[in-house]
Structure 1
């Protein structure tokens, strides 16, 4: 299930950038891929490793700990949809 978070527009990353933020007591990584903001919990569902410094190739994020590759669009492991990230819907419309 996708959860919603609010961030100030100034806290959103620019195209091709990522930002680590703490939102409502949780560590969240924001990625801007081709103008679309993807937000996920900063924790790999496999073993809890931080994903903030994972290698990003297009919209595929590789966990730096064990190499699992997650599609940021679906949130799931590439080729194995049973393991998924916690995706967060981002609302920047009402804050600056």
Structure 2
């Protein structure tokens, strides 16, 4: 079953920013990196810390709890092979659709 999260234009983050979205019981971060949208779980795989306050430098997100870094362009996998779950985000008309379907 497809689980789609529709994000209207008035909820989209400005370039270099992020928003926290909730869908059912899931928390998802939506980033705007140079006009490209990236959606990931709001939970570090190391300790479960929220990534919302993480430092964003270009396409690299640093966990605020322990400093792990994740590349938003490469499926959010870091050098230690820990990965944050990433979700496809694409334009459909005037909204971004984030596909939260389980693979």
TM-score of Structure 1 vs Structure 2, range by shorter chain: 0.7 to 0.9
Please state whether the residue corresponding to 2:22 is helix, strand or coil: strand
TM-score w.r.t. the length of structure 2 is: 0.78
Other-structure match for 1:76? 77
Task: Write the deviation string for residues 21-70 of structure 1: whole angstroms up to 9, x where unpaired.
Answer: 11233111111000000111100011100000000111100000000011
Aligned residues: 92
Structure 2 vs 1, CA of residues 63 and 36 (structure 1 numbering), >3 Å: closer, same or farther? same
Other-structure match for 2:84? 85
Other-structure match for 1:63? 63
Task: Structure 2: give runs of 5+ residues left out of the alignment.
Answer: 96-103
User: Distance between the aligned counterparts of 2:69 and 2:10, measured in 1?
Assistant: 29
Instruction: Tell me the CA shift for residue 7 of structure 1.
Output: 2.1
For the 8 Å contact 2:37–2:90, the answer to whether it is kept is: no
Other-structure match for 2:37? 37
For the 8 Å contact 1:45–1:84, the answer to whether it is kept is: yes
Task: Structure 1: give runs of 5+ residues left out of the alignment.
Answer: none
TM-score w.r.t. the length of structure 1 is: 0.83
Query: CA RMSD of the aligned region, Å?
Result: 1.9
